[in-house]
Amino acid sequence: MGALRKPFLLLAMLAIGLAAGVELGAGLLVGGGDASAALRDSAADLDVPITVGSAVEEPSGRGIGYLALVDAVAVWTTGLYCLSLVLPDRVQGRVQGVATLVFSIVLIIVAFVALLVSFVELTVMVSLFLAPPFGTLAYLAVWGFFPVGDAALVLGLVLLLKLAWAGLLVAAQPRFLQNKGLVLLALTTLLCTVVLEFLHQLVPVILVSILDDLGALVFAVVAVVWGLVLLIGSIPAIVKAVRVTATASDGGRGGPRRGEDRL
């Protein structure tokens, strides 16, 4: 299959890192526009008089930001491949298991907390929306005017970066296609991005925030699952590293003494 092409691997790391960075910065890129006029129109449609004293801003949503929870696994995995370029196999084998264990635990905790936050917010959204007229107006005032166009642009950029990441990994080493876990991870993050864009286009704009939060909840669950996969996968690596260390330590003492070889 050929040797590992280092420049392509480093470019893949850059691509997935940029994708995760865009997702984390989605709150600054999406939302924030003035939605006061749209709120007045919705109130008029419901025949409820309302005075908007200050500007009502479009929400940024949670869906794009929560994609970073899934992509954190992709960044970590690609980073481990890049780490192999600078660390000897013996050292990497000892460090990788423990580092992955710590990372997976942190990911599970963060994703679980994010899941609870999105679930509570989704419950509040649905409860307000189904309590007309004033509950519905309260929902519209906070979440009713999702910036679908801005979100589509950001998701398009993220999807392009993820496709570049996958392509660069294959260009770096075609044998990556034989790694079922890596292929499944790539399909997962690409599918999550496409699904979120589909949810944004599925319903009228006043309901997009609800589906966006639902998508965020699903992404948090997916991140927890991948965190568990990493957690379970790190255990054999840790056990192997401990055994290698113990063997090397015994070898350094010159092996077992006579009479101890049967113990």
pLDDT the model gives residue 115: 97
Rounded to whole angstroms, the Cα distance separating 177 from 181 reads 9
Domain ranges of the chain: 6-244
* Confidence band of 261 (pLDDT split at 50, 70, 90): very low
In three-state secondary structure terms, 46 is coil
Nearest C-alpha neighbor of 202 from the set 192, 193, 212:
212
* pLDDT one-digit tens code per residue, 14-57: 999 999 999 999 888 887 666 666 666 655 555 555 555 455 67
Q: Half-sphere exposure (CA, 13 Å, Cβ side) for 172?
A: 19
* pLDDT one-digit tens code per residue, 143-156: 878 888 899 999 99
Rounded to whole angstroms, the Cα distance separating 150 from 162 reads 19
Q: Work out the burial of residue 63: count CB atoms within 10 Å of its CB; fewer than 13 is exposed, 13-18 middle, 19 or more buried.
A: buried
pLDDT the model gives residue 251: 57
Please report, to the nearest 10 degrees, the dihedral formed by the alpha carbons of residues 115, 225, 26, 15 taken in order: 170
Q: Is 210 within 8 Å of 129 (Cβ atoms)?
A: yes
Contacts 24+ apart (CB under 8 A), 194-203: 194/159, 196/63, 196/64, 196/67, 196/155, 197/151, 197/152, 197/155, 197/156, 197/159, 199/63, 200/63, 200/146, 200/148, 200/151, 200/152, 200/155, 201/148, 201/152
Kindly state the helix (H) or strand (E) to which residue 30 belongs, with its residue range: none
In three-state secondary structure terms, 34 is strand
Report the alpha-carbon angle 119-109-241, nearest 5: 150
